[in-house]
């Protein structure tokens, strides 16, 4: 299993209940998540729920595309789900600290038009990506599609 990968998708949530908006680059903000994303504002500021990072394998196994599971950063990094809380990931110009796995919620199936939202939720248990917080940036802290991802 490789200890490095790359960014294949970037998305921000601008309005609750709406679809995430794709980006070619985003700026990471220490203690706040991604610029322009609601998850980094209000209750999430300073917490470990600023950014959701997901490996493409989960999406592909479910027939989904980057951003469909409401992740901000989609990566080609198979080792992601095995990383323990506290692991630092270098993602482009940012360092993220993994705070733990994201548990699937009931409404994720409804948002994706799944006929059985409960079955869809169960299919994602242990595979919904990792929550993280931005702990450092280099320069302007920009993360771009194609940037490397590696354990720091």
Which ranges of 13-116 would DSSP assign to H, the alpha helix? 56-61, 107-111
Asked if 56 contacts 106 with a C-beta cutoff of 8 angstroms, the reply is no
Domain boundaries, the chain: 4-151
pTM: 0.88
Q: Kindly report, residue by residue over 50-94, the tens digit of the pLDDT.
A: 999 999 998 898 888 998 888 999 999 989 989 999 999 999 999
**Nearest-CA neighbor of 32 among 149, 147, 150, 137?**
137
Rounded to whole angstroms, the Cα distance separating 137 from 124 reads 31
Task: Name the CATH superfamily housing domain 4-151.
Answer: PK beta-barrel domain-like (2.40.33.20)
Note the pLDDT of residue 15.
Answer: 74
Predicted confidence band at 136 (pLDDT cuts at 50, 70, 90)? Answer: very high
User: Residue 103 burial by CB count (10 A; 0-12/13-18/19+): exposed, middle or buried?
Assistant: exposed
């Amino acid at each position: 299993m490789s200890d490095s990968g790359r960014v294949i998708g970037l998305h921000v949530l601008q309005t609750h209940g709406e679809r995430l908006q794709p980006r070619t680059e985003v700026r990471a903000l220490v203690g706040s998540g991604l610029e322009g994303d609601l998850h980094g504002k209000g209750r999430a500021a300073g917490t470990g729920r600023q950014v959701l990072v997901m490996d493409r394998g989960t999406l592909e196994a479910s027939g989904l595309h980057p951003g469909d599971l409401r992740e901000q950063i989609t990566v080609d990094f198979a080792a992601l789900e095995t990383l323990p809380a506290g692991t630092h990931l270098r993602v482009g110009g940012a360092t993220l600290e993994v705070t733990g796995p994201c548990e699937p919620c009931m409404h994720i199936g409804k948002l994706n038009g799944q006929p059985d939202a409960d079955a869809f939720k169960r299919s994602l248990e242990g595979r919904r990506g990792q929550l993280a917080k931005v702990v450092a940036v280099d320069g302007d802290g920009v993360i771009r599609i194609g940037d490397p991802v590696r354990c720091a």
